[in-house]
A = this chain, B = another copy of it.
Amino acid sequence: MTTNFAYVKNDFYPKDQACISIEERGFKFGDGVFETIRVYSSIPYQWDLHLARLKEGIDALKINADLSGLHALCRQLIQKNAVENGLLRLSLSRGIGSDGYLPVGTAAYESTLVIETLPLPNAPQEPVDLWISGYQKISAKALPVQVKLMQGMNSILARMEAAEHNCFDALMLGDRAQICECSSSNIFWYRDNTLFTPSHMSGIMAGTTREAIIRLFPKVKEGLFLLKELHLADEVFLTNAAYQIIPVRSLSPMKLTWDSFAISSKVQKLLEQDIHTYAAKKKAA
């Protein structure tokens, strides 16, 4: 068995020895951002979208970080860990130095980068059940929710709640009862030859697989939607960089059910094709 490496701050370490100081603001306060990127044929899919979101997060949080060498480091780790198909996970923590919540000392200019590779998760073998979360999605008025913050408690609580109800994931609503997303995936539904999905104005995470679907599917309508829209849907599915497309068969406690998965399957094929094409192009370049 070969050693699995992780990159921490400025060097590669065997992952089981990779650690960070207890004073890291990422640990003390969840003060940082992360990205989870699908790797196919050793190429990180939609790298530019992930990098753009990471930069948006860094700007929103005013974290100091130089991302110019990031792609090379990621490629190096993918090679070291011989990842053909898998996930790349980057975390950027603000660094060390705290006067209460206020960043001081080195944290003002030196953030901490962590890169690791992970196996693909076991995707559900069947369409999944969803639970409407009792936790409201954190408002975009309180946090820059469109980026991946190193603070997932809202999602964790919703996901645990769903698991307690024997559901795969939780559907979270926003502060105007609008449909937002699941704990770590965006949601789409299908009706009248059209895919529908909550808009950025709904207070969603700007999912990269969501972006790919909007680019690939002929007709997608984004908007602010209430739960009643799902009563009219012929099909529902989730999107996420690790799982790609997850068809949905029920939503509880409302007891909505769906038994058509043709569009999910079609979208999954479109996405797979795009991932192949993307990797082939990058390799040729």
> Chain A residues in contact with chain B, CB under 8 A?
6, 8, 15, 18-24, 26-31, 34, 61-62, 91, 93, 99-103, 114, 116, 121, 135-139, 141-143, 149-157, 159-160, 163, 175, 183-184, 242
User: What are some 18 contacts across the A-B interface (CB < 8 A)?
Assistant: A15-B23, A19-B20, A20-B27, A26-B27, A27-B27, A29-B153, A30-B152, A31-B153, A100-B121, A100-B183, A103-B156, A135-B143, A136-B139, A138-B138, A142-B142, A143-B153, A149-B153, A150-B151
* A100 contact set on B, CB distance < 8 A: 121, 159, 183-184, 242
Alpha-carbon distance between A24 and B150 when the two chains are bound, in angstroms: 12
* A26 contact set on B, CB distance < 8 A: 27, 30
In the complex, the answer to whether B150 meets A142 with C-beta atoms within 8 Å is no
In the complex, the answer to whether B61 meets A157 with C-beta atoms within 8 Å is yes
Number of copies of this protein chain within its complex: 2
* A103 contact set on B, CB distance < 8 A: 156, 160
Which of B22, B27, B101 interacts with A6 by CB under 8 Å?
Answer: B22
Which of B18, B21, B121, B135 interacts with A99 by CB under 8 Å?
Answer: B121
Which of B30, B61, B156 interacts with A101 by CB under 8 Å?
Answer: B156
* A156 contact set on B, CB distance < 8 A: 29, 31, 61, 101-103
* A61 contact set on B, CB distance < 8 A: 153, 156-157
Kindly report which residue of chain B lies nearest to residue A115, judged by CB atoms. Answer: B22
Which of B24, B27, B34, B101 interacts with A183 by CB under 8 Å?
Answer: B101
